[in-house]
Amino acid sequence: HEMTAIEVQGNPQTSRPRRSMGLFNNIKFFVLCHGMLQLAQLLVSGYLKGSITTIEKRYGFSSQKSGLLAAFNEVGNTVLIVFVSFFGSRVHRPRCIGIGAMIASVGVFLIALPHFISEKTVLFFSGLCQSLNPEEESNQTCDQEKHDSHLGVYPILLLGQLLLGIGGVPIQPFGISYIDDYAEKRNSPFYLGILFAITVIGPAFGYMMSSVLLRVYVDVDKMYSKYIDLNNDDPRWVGAWWLGFLMAATLLLLTSLPYLFFPRKIFQSFQEIIEAPVEPSTEKMMEDKKPKTDMMEEVSLAEFLKSFPKIVMRTLRNPIYLLVVLAQVNLAAMVAGLATFMGKFIERQFAQTVSFSNLMMGGLNIPSAMFGIMAGGVILRKLGLTVRSSAAMCTVAVFISIMFAIPLLFIGCPTQSVSGINYNISSHQCSNACSCSDEAFNPVCGSDGVEFRSPCHAGCKTKIPNKEKVLNYTDCECVASIGSPGFALPGPCGNGCNNRLIPFMILSSFTCFVASLSHTTSFMMILRTVTPEDKSFALGIQFMLFRVLAFLPAPVLYGRAIDTACILWGKKCSKITSCRYYDLDLFRHRFLGLQIFFIFGGFVCFFLSFMVLRRTNSTQEQNEKMNNQTKSENSQEMKDAKQMISNSNGHCNTQRNLRE
């Protein structure tokens, strides 16, 4: 031992690498790295949902297709997550996390790739009636080669999402188990609390980042300055959705590199080994530091797969577990749909920009849910709730959230009057002579307050330019006016009810807060109602059901409901693209109606779990009373028997005395 210390002191070249590796033997440094990695991973998730409607507009996807795209990362995650519980203690966990993060970063780079292989965004600008301007005509012609280049965009995006899901499989479970194994028991909850907080903060940062970057025009890297002069409140505006994916992918790649240097097992620091008195003591400390996952009895993969259905059925036969998980699945489906399309709802319903809508999501709704989760944990801790009282709390919280969600159905804006679509259908006959293209989309607002799809559809023949912008369109035959032809202003008319946005957001945020009170409480119900040996497996089944029943189908279902409210689909090269106009009342009722439907499903499941627990407790109380009554009767019978025996003994003794 002394020779080792002398050699280390005398040879600085030997000690330097050992000191550098000591950083990777520190569990606190692992927690720091893992927090940064989870932040980068969840940043991608929030940014994707914040920019999904921009991608939809750029490449002409329906809401159903964009919903499938948003949920497709769950496919790879669902397929592989089951095996994590088996291989968790048999692999080099830090290295698996690093490799998975690298795969995920490749997937994020793939998501940004379509921007670089696609042509510049082509927009309609003036589209005047009877315009013979060659520049404007060329703007309206269909270039089949450019259109065909978009056909491969959707598969590339799906592949990127698939790789993102596959790469993200080992990050959270392996990281949590690694920290739980090697951190001190008193510090482990604190470290895990930091990671769970990041799971909420990460998506919020993603929404905020999308709010900033979507204010930049999509083709800014292609020096298309003519289009950059558009305002981001123009309905034709497409933000630089790809820029955030490049930044997030780079961050994900950088945060994955430290995991290649963490050891499979965290041992003592080198300084502690030197200070140890004898070698056997060091070995003993190594054994004490060995994680409990390595001490578990290892089974083969075949045995694991063979026992898997039995454990699943045994777990699902627990009525409380099944009801609570189904309640959580309903709430998770609501959250998945709202996180994907709430920004689009605010944008369309209240005539806001995509940037502002994402700011509302990241700055108001998600923090409200985070505070609700924290408040639920505090209530659970302060009151020391039992399983039955926890079920009652979840039932009441979800019921109150329903009461706050129902008024949201009536806080919205009516559909603006659009000529030829939902207003004065016969007025489009005045633009027939203009030979307006059905693919034209350059909204203008007539002086009569009616919106038109383009200046051509308004019958406008001249424009008043200002450099590269248009200030006004004049000689508009289709705009109702007294005397001379009317005029039209660039941009949509709007629905004039922006003042309803603030009450809507306040009520929506409060609904999120109250519903989130059940999050921590319901998780504790699961942990308290399953057997200890099935606890970790029950959580694995729970997250698998979340993905299969909520995170995968919910965005697609919400997207389909939104598509059914469309009243005018866009066209490009005679093919249907994204929706141009929605029936806003139908949009609001179907979108928020699904929210209320899923919250009500969660309420029913929580209420049934409370009734089952109440019945179980009453049955147990009756059994205890019967047992106590039986015990008292038995004790009374014993007393009577003892009394009879003592009486008979006394009688015998009396007779014996008389005989004597």
Question: Residue 84, Cβ neighbours under 10 Å: how many?
Answer: 19
71-109 pLDDT per residue, tens? 998 888 777 776 665 565 567 888 989 999 999 999 999
Tell me, what's the pLDDT at 637? 58
**Residue 31 or residue 87, greater confidence:** 31
Tell me the two tokens of residue 175: 């990281």
Residues 583-604: pLDDT tens digits? 999 999 999 999 999 999 999 9
What backbone torsions phi and psi does residue 462 show, to the nearest 5 degrees? -135, 160
What is the pLDDT averaged over residues 343-358? 90
- Of residues 18 and 546, more confidence is placed in 546
For residue 148, pLDDT beyond 50? no
For residues 273 and 605, which has the higher predicted lDDT (pLDDT)? 605
What's the pLDDT at 631?
56
Lowest-confidence segment of 223-227, 412-416, 489-493, 566-570 by average pLDDT: 223-227
Model confidence at 301, pLDDT cuts 50, 70, 90, reads: low
The amino acid at residue 528 is: R
The pLDDT value recorded for residue 626 is 55
Res 269: pLDDT = 45
Whole-number pLDDT of residue 4: 41
Give percent above pLDDT 70 in the chain: 75
Task: Give the strand pairing for 444-446 and 451-452.
Answer: antiparallel
CB 538 within 8 A of CB 526: yes
What pLDDT, on a 0 to 100 scale, did the predictor assign at position 486? 81
List helix spans (H) across 530-574: 535-546, 553-563
The Cα 154–Cα 157 span in angstroms is 5
- 235 burial type by CB count under 10 A (0-12 exposed, 13-18 middle, 19+ buried): middle
Rounded to the nearest integer, the mean pLDDT of the chain is 78
Which tens digits make up the pLDDT trace of 171-185?
877 887 788 778 777
Higher-scoring residue by pLDDT: 355, 7 = 355
Give the range among 218-222, 302-306, 329-333, 445-449 with minimum mean pLDDT: 302-306
Between 446 and 84, name the one with better pLDDT.
446
Query: Could you tell me the domains of the chain?
Result: 22-131+149-266 (1.20.1250.20), 306-412+498-573+585-644 (1.20.1250.20), 426-490 (no CATH)
User: Residue 483's pLDDT band (boundaries 50, 70, 90)?
Assistant: low
Is 365 strand, coil or helix?
helix
Q: What pLDDT does 642 receive?
A: 59
- With cut-offs at 50, 70 and 90, classify the pLDDT of residue 137: very low
Q: Assign 396 to helix, strand or coil.
A: helix
Q: Is the backbone of residue 435 left (phi > 0), alpha (psi -120 to 50) or beta?
A: left
Structure tokens, 625: 């009373």
Token pair, residue 380, equals 């659970």
pLDDT in tens, 640-660: 655 655 655 555 555 555 455
In this prediction, what percent of the chain has a pLDDT beyond 90? 26
Question: How many Å apart are CA 399 and CA 397, to the nearest integer?
Answer: 5
Cβ neighbour number for residue 205 with a 10 Å cutoff = 19
Q: How many residues does the chain have?
A: 660
Q: Which of 95-99, 398-402, 432-436 has the lowest mean pLDDT?
A: 432-436
The pLDDT value given to residue 458: 85
Q: Which two tokens stand for residue 376?
A: 């639920």
Most confident region among 309-313, 464-468, 490-494, 508-512 by mean pLDDT: 508-512
CA atoms of 561 and 340, how far apart (whole Å):
13
* Segment 248-267 mean pLDDT: 89
Residues 375 and 367: beta-carbon distance below 8 Å: no
568, pLDDT greater than 70: yes
- The structure tokens 């489009």 sit at 428
CA-based R_g, the chain, Å: 33
Taking CA atoms, 175 is separated from 84, 93, 230, 274, 608, in Å, by 12, 8, 46, 29, 35
- What pLDDT is recorded for position 281? 37
The answer, yes or no, to whether residue 143 has pLDDT greater than 80, is no
447 pLDDT band (50/70/90 cuts)?
confident
Collapsing DSSP to helix, strand or coil, 583 comes out as coil
The type of residue at 302 is A
**Which two three-digit tokens encode residue 386?**
């039992």
Spatial CB neighbours of 341, under 8 Å, sequence gap ≥ 6? 52, 53, 63, 67, 555, 558, 559, 562, 591
pLDDT of residue 643: 61
User: Distance (Å, rounded) from C-alpha 487 to C-alpha 469?
Assistant: 16
